[in-house]
């Protein structure tokens, strides 16, 4: 991939950087700033080189128009603290405010454009719409650096289309991620175990088909579980369920058996009366989730089962918390899996934890990051790399 060095002397040049600042928020408080910290090497390097740095990023999944709860204002403030300079936030993506903020930049200064997903063209399926936004973004800059690893699997205007319009390069985070993950993509040491959880179920069920040709064991937890339990004919109460994926999951289960891949499902579930930190809850067998309750964590028996399935693994990839770890009552499954991975890593396994929330969970639960071989800022992106897909946001940066 092209590197920042290939862009030549950047003093006085406007450099558009795509970062992934999709951080967890509690109101306007950032609860984990890992993704902002991960962006600092590239941003500092560009600023130190005298570039005028214009950062574009998304936060959450707003519906294609401005929505204050998804404003990047908290990110601009935190980024400013970490960089040791004020970071101006444009009020729009490519409008008057963006142009005036960019025009006001001095060499070495960093500014942030408002949430790029406030513009519906960013995520449009229509090439012409995305390209139009990409042209507007490109007008704000002389070069483009792609450094939002967590979003390089998205064919979106600020990730994919803009790279064709400006001299473009991969940032240091993207290079580091691809290099670290390559150890699991090229000839992983076996047994190779993949742990999947989280809440982006429809996005991530799709990776399973390819993983069934790569991994030896698939451990399923988090919001993923219920589509599997439904595929086995069990009722899942009001748990997260992708009803239209149940047939596909039946196919995965059959394929796994054919390929000799072990799919490990939880045997017990912590079922709650509602989605709340203090919701009444109890541990139930996974095949007997009572109507009117929702599974918010894997149970203790499953935590031990999963840790056991990780103990002898030599390569481990984990994306997606095992439960709603943000609430103490539903964090035990995620803790058990994290501990299992730390123990396996100490015994010689190569381990990758990927995803904004998974990485945040590891830190929030007090684990030392050094206990894992690589903590990736991308969940979906790292999974798609591991399944062997070509990622649009990386393909456009190829030399």
Ligand X SMILES: Nc1ncnc2c1ncn2[C@@H]1O[C@H](COP(=O)(O)OP(=O)(O)O)[C@@H](O)[C@H]1O
Ligand Y SMILES: O=C(OP(=O)(O)O)[C@H](O)COP(=O)(O)O
CA–CA dist 261, 180 (Å, integer): 25
Q: For residue 144, what is the enclosing H or E element?
A: strand 143-146
355 lies in the site for ligand Y, by CB under 6 A: yes
Give the nearer residue to ligand Y in terms of CB position, either 188 or 356. Answer: 356
60, 22 Cβ separation under 8 angstroms: yes
Q: Binding site annotation covers 308?
A: no
Nearest residue (CB) to ligand X, 268 versus 357: 357
CB of 72 to ligand Y, least distance (A): 13
Label the pairing between strands 294-298 and 268-272: antiparallel
Residue of the chain from 138, 378, 386, 387 that contacts ligand Y (CB under 6 A): 378
240 binds, among ligand Y, ligand X, none (CB under 5 to 8 A by kind): ligand X
Question: By the 8 A CB rule, do 121 and 114 touch?
Answer: no
Instruction: Tell whether residue 108 is among the known ligand binding residues.
Output: no
Mark 48-67 with x for binding to ligand Y (rule: CB under 6 A) and - for no binding: -------------x------
C-beta closer to ligand X: residue 138 or 385: 385
**Whole-angstrom Cα distance, residue 231 to residue 248?**
9
Is 393 a binding residue for ligand Y by CB under 6 A? The answer is no
**What's the rounded Cα separation, in Å, for the pair 27 and 354?**
24
DSSP assigned state of 124? -
Burial environment of residue 204 by CB neighbours within 10 A (0 to 12, 13 to 18, 19 or more): buried
Tell me which of ligand Y, ligand X, none is bound by residue 321, counting a contact when its beta carbon lies within the kind-specific cut-off of 5 to 8 angstroms.
ligand X
From 391, 369, 365, 366, select the one nearest 378 (Cα to Cα): 391
Cβ proximity to ligand X: between 144 and 149 the closer is 149
Catalytic residues: 35, 200, 356, 380
Contact flags string 134-173 toward ligand Y, x per CB under 6 A: ----------------xx--x-------------------
CB 204 → ligand Y: shortest distance, Å?
Answer: 8
Distance CA 109, CA 18 (A): 16
Binding site for ligand Y (CB under 6 A): 20, 22, 61, 150-151, 154, 200, 355-356, 378-380
């Amino acid at each position: 991939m092209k590197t920042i060095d290939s862009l030549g002397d950047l003093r006085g040049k406007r450099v558009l950087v795509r970062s992934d600042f999709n951080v967890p928020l509690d109101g306007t408080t950032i609860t984990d700033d890992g993704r902002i910290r991960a962006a600092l090497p590239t941003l500092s390097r560009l600023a130190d080189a005298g570039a005028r740095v214009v950062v574009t990023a998304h936060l959450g999944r707003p519906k294609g128009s401005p929505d204050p709860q998804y404003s990047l204002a908290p990110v601009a403030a935190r980024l400013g603290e970490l960089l040791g300079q004020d970071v101006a936030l444009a009020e729009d993506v490519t409008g008057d405010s963006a142009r005036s903020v960019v025009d006001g930049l001095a060499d070495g200064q960093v500014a942030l454009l408002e949430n790029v997903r406030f513009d519906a063209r960013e995520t449009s399926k229509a090439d012409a719409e995305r390209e139009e936004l990409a042209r507007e973004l490109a007008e704000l800059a002389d070069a483009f650096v792609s450094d939002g690893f967590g979003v390089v699997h998205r064919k979106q205007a600020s990730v994919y289309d803009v790279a064709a319009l400006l001299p473009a390069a991969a940032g240091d985070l993207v290079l580091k991620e691809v290099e670290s993950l390559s150890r699991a993509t090229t000839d992983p040491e076996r047994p190779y175990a993949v742990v999947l959880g989280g809440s982006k179920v429809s996005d991530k069920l799709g990776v399973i088909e390819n993983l069934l040709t790569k991994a030896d064991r698939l451990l399923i937890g988090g919001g993923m579980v219920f589509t599997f339990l439904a595929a086995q004919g069990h009722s899942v109460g009001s748990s997260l369920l992708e009803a239209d994926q149940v047939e596909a999951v039946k196919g995965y289960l059959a394929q796994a058996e054919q390929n000799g891949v072990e799919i490990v499902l939880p045997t017990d579930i912590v079922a709650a009366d509602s989605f709340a930190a203090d919701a009444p809850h109890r541990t139930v067998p996974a095949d007997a989730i009572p109507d009117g309750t929702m599974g918010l964590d894997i149970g203790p028996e499953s935590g031990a089962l999963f840790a056991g399935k990780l103990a002898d693994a030599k390569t481990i990839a984990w994306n997606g918390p095992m439960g709603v770890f943000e609430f103490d009552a539903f964090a035990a499954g995620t803790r058990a899996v994290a501990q299992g991975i730390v123990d396996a890593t100490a015994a010689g396994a190569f381990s990758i934890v990927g995803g904004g929330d998974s990485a945040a969970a590891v830190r929030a639960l007090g684990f030392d990051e050094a206990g894992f071989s690589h903590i990736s800022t991308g969940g979906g992106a790292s999974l798609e790399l591991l399944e062997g897909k070509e990622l649009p946001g990386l393909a456009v940066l190829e030399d």
